[in-house]
Amino acid sequence: MQRRLAPFIFTQLASVSSVISGAMVFIAIPWIALEITGSAGLAGLVVAVSAIPGLLFAPVLGSIIDKFGRKRMAIWAELLTFLTSIMIPIAAGFWELSLPILIVVGILRAMVHPGASTARKSIVPDVAAAGKMTLDRANSIHEAVFASGFAIGPALASFCIAFIGSANTFWVVAGFGFLSAIFASFIRVVEQHEPNDSGEDEPFHIYAMQGIKILFATPAVLLLMSAILTLALIYLPTEMVLLPAAYTKLEDPTALGIIISAMAGAAVFGALFFEQIHKRVSYGNILRIGILGVAIAMIPMSQLPSLPWMIGFGILLGGAWGPLLPLLNTVIQKQIPANKRGRVFALEMAIWSGGPMISMAIVGVAADAFGVKAVYFVLGVCVLISAALVSSNKYIKQLDSEVIHSS
């Protein structure tokens, strides 16, 4: 079979466009909520409330992907996200933006946008096979692209808010989403399906819950997903809430930008080197080293040392974090049947998209009450405890298994 890289390239172009769009929203929605309410607490509450329905809708998104196709869902989820994004500038043009409007739009977006990312993660083995790439390499590149988009989005959102206003920023958000749908439409690949899947004939509500069933039937995957998503719930608020709060108080936005860029850049390189790392280190040890590395970096960073130290620990943190998402993708793709992959990835993406929004609100309230350094330190200790629990778990050795679990 001739090697075809075009499907993989279009998948990555769709991914980076979508991630930039989604990362812009991380900044833009809280900003608008703050403009409306004037309260950081209420702004955080809006973000948290908007995220919860998306978590509950995850099994449905995954079921649609597994039923109707990965490419099709990658296109339609982005188009629906595009429609939800343009609601904000349209509403701002005709009426005055209010909290109910913002919450409704946030809920609609949280319900559909994770479907696009889930579909692209699910189709990676298909486009990797067409390009004759290993899953390690394909996921290294895919998550490096994700990290790049996640680094670009907030900076672009800040620029757009400054020059065209917060509501009009959503025209740019929508534009990147529409661009992602266009790129996804050019993916030409045969989607893998497992033969004789008895679950295909189940009623939809049972079919939708099979992702949870197979996740609990695959303890190594459950351990890995729980570890990385717990890490995300704890770590992301430090980057999105605590560091901005600390450096806003210090009136040093330049230092904040340098630290965030150092972490993001190191994460990109960590993801890109995942394939090379796995040639020397087992999946289980990559997980151990990754979580422990994040904890070792977070604890001294919590005391806000001088900028050179913050940059150094930020690079360590990003480098430790970088290989973890390619690891998660690869293990799911190797151990979960293709026909059920969408439902498992949907659970991951829903928690990834909605969970940090909720934990950010909690961390913000805690920081107001106890101070940035104290909350930051406690979060670092929580990651350290998580690293100890994960490292001693008996299922960690099963991460390197190539066995596909059918139920």
The domain spans of the chain are 6-184+200-400
8-state DSSP, 133:
-
- Is residue 15's pLDDT more than 70? yes
This model's pTM is above 0.85: no
Confidence at 403, pLDDT banded by 50, 70, 90: low
Distance of CA 372 to the CA centre of its chain: 24
User: Which pair of structure tokens corresponds to residue 121?
Assistant: 């993660």
Domain 6-184+200-400 listed as CATH 3.30.70.2860: no
- Is residue 381's pLDDT more than 60? yes
- Is residue 404's pLDDT more than 60? no
- Is residue 80's pLDDT more than 70? yes
What's residue 8's pLDDT?
93
Cα-Cα-Cα-Cα dihedral sign, residues 31, 23, 267, 238: positive
pLDDT 10s digits, 326-376: 999 899 888 888 888 888 888 777 777 667 777 877 888 888 889 889 999
What's residue 318's pLDDT?
92
HSE of 217 in the Cβ direction (CA atoms, 13 Å)?
Answer: 16
CB 379 within 8 Å of CB 362: no
pLDDT 10s digits, 214-254: 878 888 888 888 888 888 888 888 877 788 788 877 777 77
Mean pLDDT, range 22-49, rounded to an integer: 75
- Is residue 56's pLDDT more than 80? no
Mean pLDDT, range 25-51, rounded to an integer: 74
What's residue 226's pLDDT?
86
Mean pLDDT, range 45-54, rounded to an integer: 73
Residue count of the chain, please give it: 407
CB 141 within 8 Å of CB 330: no
Does 387 or 51 have the greater pLDDT score? Answer: 387
User: Judging by beta carbons within 10 Å of its beta carbon (0-12, 13-18, 19+), is residue 100 exposed, middle or buried?
Assistant: exposed
Does 12 or 234 have the greater pLDDT score? Answer: 12
Confidence at 398, pLDDT banded by 50, 70, 90: confident
Three-state secondary structure call for residue 11:
helix
- Give one word for 162, left, alpha or beta, with left for phi > 0 and alpha for psi -120 to 50: alpha
CB 406 within 8 Å of CB 197: no
Does 200 or 56 have the greater pLDDT score? Answer: 56
Describe the crossing of helices 99-130 and 6-37 by its angle, rounded to 10 degrees: 170
- Is residue 406's pLDDT more than 60? no
CB 269 within 8 Å of CB 389: no
What's residue 1's pLDDT?
58
Does 19 or 54 have the greater pLDDT score? Answer: 19
What's residue 198's pLDDT?
57
Mean pLDDT, range 306-325, rounded to an integer: 93
Confidence at 60, pLDDT banded by 50, 70, 90: confident
Does 71 or 354 have the greater pLDDT score? Answer: 71
Confidence at 92, pLDDT banded by 50, 70, 90: confident
What's residue 238's pLDDT?
85
Q: What is the mean pLDDT of the chain?
A: 84
Q: Provide φ and ψ at 2, rounded to 5°.
A: -70, 140
Mean pLDDT, range 185-207, rounded to an integer: 71
pLDDT 10s digits, 132-191: 889 999 999 998 998 888 878 877 888 888 888 888 999 999 999 999 999 999 999 877
Mean pLDDT, range 273-279, rounded to an integer: 92
Confidence at 110, pLDDT banded by 50, 70, 90: confident
- Distances in whole angstroms, Cα of residue 333 to Cα of each of 136, 327, 342, 347: 10, 10, 10, 14
